[in-house]
Amino acid sequence: MYAEGDVVRVLDHTITGHCRTPLYLKGRVGTIVCVAGRWRDPELLAYHKPGLPLRRLYRVRFRQADLWPGYAHGADTLEADIYEHWLAPASSGAREAA
C-alpha cells in the first residue's frame, strides 16, 4: 500500500485486451496525490467477470515536462487514477516535483 507523497513508477506491463492505465504513462515516475479507495478491477469487468479481488486505486501526479519531449510549460502537471497492480516504488534516486 502506498501513501500520499510516495514516489512510484508505472509498470511497463505488456497486456492484451482492456487496459485502464494510459499507455503513455508506462515506465513514468509520479507522486501519489491520494488514495481513492478500493474498487473492482475494470480490466476484469470489461470481460463480464466480477472484478475481484478489489484493487486499491491511487491518484498519481506526473510532471508534463517528464512525459512529453520538448514540453515548454515546466510547472504543468497531469493527474491520473492508477490501480495498485500497475505501480511499483520508484528507484531510491528518483524524485518527483510536486
Cell of residue 91, nine digits: 528507484
Q: Within a domain: residue 36?
A: yes
Q: Give the rounded percent of residues in the chain with a pLDDT score beyond 90.
A: 73
Q: What is the CATH number of the domain that holds 17?
A: 2.30.30.50
- Higher-confidence residue of 15 and 96: namely 15
Quote the domain boundaries for residue 30: 7-89
Q: What is the pLDDT of residues 47-92, one digit of tens each?
A: 999 999 999 999 999 999 999 988 988 789 999 999 999 999 997 4
Phi-psi label, residue 70: left if phi above 0, alpha if psi -120 to 50, beta otherwise? left
Residue 39 host element (H or E)? strand 29-39
Tell me the mean pLDDT in the region 27-46: 95
Beta pairing class for 87-89 and 77-83: unpaired
